[in-house]
Amino acid sequence: MSNGRSLSAPQTAETETATFIQDFLALIKIGIVNSNLITVFTGLWLAFQFSGRHFLQELDLLVLAIAGSAFIIAGSAAMNNYIDQDIDPVMSRTKSRPTVTGRFKPSAVLAMALSFIVVGEILLFSASVAAGLWGIAGVLAYVVLYSMWSKRRHVSNTIVGSISGAIPPLIGWAAVEPALGPGAWALFLIMFAWQPPHFYALAMKRTEEYRAAGIPMLPVIKGFARTKKSMLAWVLVLFPLPLLLLELGAGFVILATVLNIGWLILALRGFSAKNDLKWAMQMFIYSLNYMTILFVSMIIFALFV
């Protein structure tokens, strides 16, 4: 019996540690952190390439901007979890969050969120004042404009939320070139226009959950037909935006246009789809691949600028 207890103790400790790590990563929404860091890095990279500077000679800027962005995004995500404690239990997608299960106390989540944001801002201001200011803008846009204000009140909440999601590349760019060039705003606009069809697709999949939680998402308030039209409109908005990055070369513009055409065809199919939810999932998956391919291609094409 004694041997059994001695063997189970470390296993229990390991399990608890693994669960804690999983809860922590869920709390800071690690997926969102990682995806946003790709756009931060892209902004950094393009700013270096377009200005003729070499990132290896300014690695401090890269580290400060990436680390600072990671902290403020993680902190803002944790703050969102803190704010949404009352509605998260209603939705299957969020009911296992540590703020719902009780694994993390609300006071601890709030303290961690604020600490992360402060640390992140210190790092960003160390890179450049502009990067720090854009970091503050991103936090306010996500925590205040989206989480605290529009999410529960307005059907336009997704559009408002797109502002914060489009700021990370500006933070990366501002760390290198505080004045921001046309390329920085091109990244902002691409990110801004990409988000509505991406999140509307997810909202269609979770319509009944959002309805139960009282969140006025577009599919809940206006229905699927109206949501499909909005998704198509935002995909069309993306078409001219690669032209703002002509400096990356014709190859990039052609690749981006092919991606846009693919998304347009898929969006049009939605109007004759027999299974709306299956189509919405296809749109969601395409949007993820679209963003990954587009931003990685920017990094690659910038090498030949």
For 208-234, the pLDDT digits (tens) are: 988 988 899 999 999 999 999 999 999
> Do the beta carbons of residue 88 and residue 147 sit within 8 Å?
no
> Which pTM does this prediction carry?
0.89
Using pLDDT thresholds of 50, 70 and 90, give the confidence band for residue 105. Answer: confident
Which of 12-21, 104-113, 119-128 shows the lowest mean pLDDT across its residues? 12-21
Alpha carbon dihedral 32, 34, 37, 41, in 10-degree steps, equals -150
Other CB atoms closer than 10 Å to residue 15's CB: what's the count?
Answer: 10
Q: What is the pLDDT of residues 132-159, one digit of tens each?
A: 999 999 999 999 999 999 998 999 999 9
Long-range contacts of 5-10 (CB under 8 A, 24+ apart): none
Domain extents in the chain: 21-302
The fold for domain 21-302 equals: Farnesyl Diphosphate Synthase (1.10.600)
- What mean pLDDT do residues 164-172 have? 96
CA distance 44 to 47: 5
- What mean pLDDT do residues 34-41 have? 95
Using pLDDT thresholds of 50, 70 and 90, give the confidence band for residue 1. Answer: very low
Burial of 10 (0-12, 13-18, 19+ CB in 10 A): exposed
- What mean pLDDT do residues 183-202 have? 96
| Average per-residue pLDDT for the chain | 90
Bigger pLDDT: 172 or 105?
172
> Do the beta carbons of residue 93 and residue 206 sit within 8 Å?
yes
Long-range contacts of 239-243 (CB under 8 A, 24+ apart): 239/264, 241/186, 241/189, 241/190, 241/193, 242/190
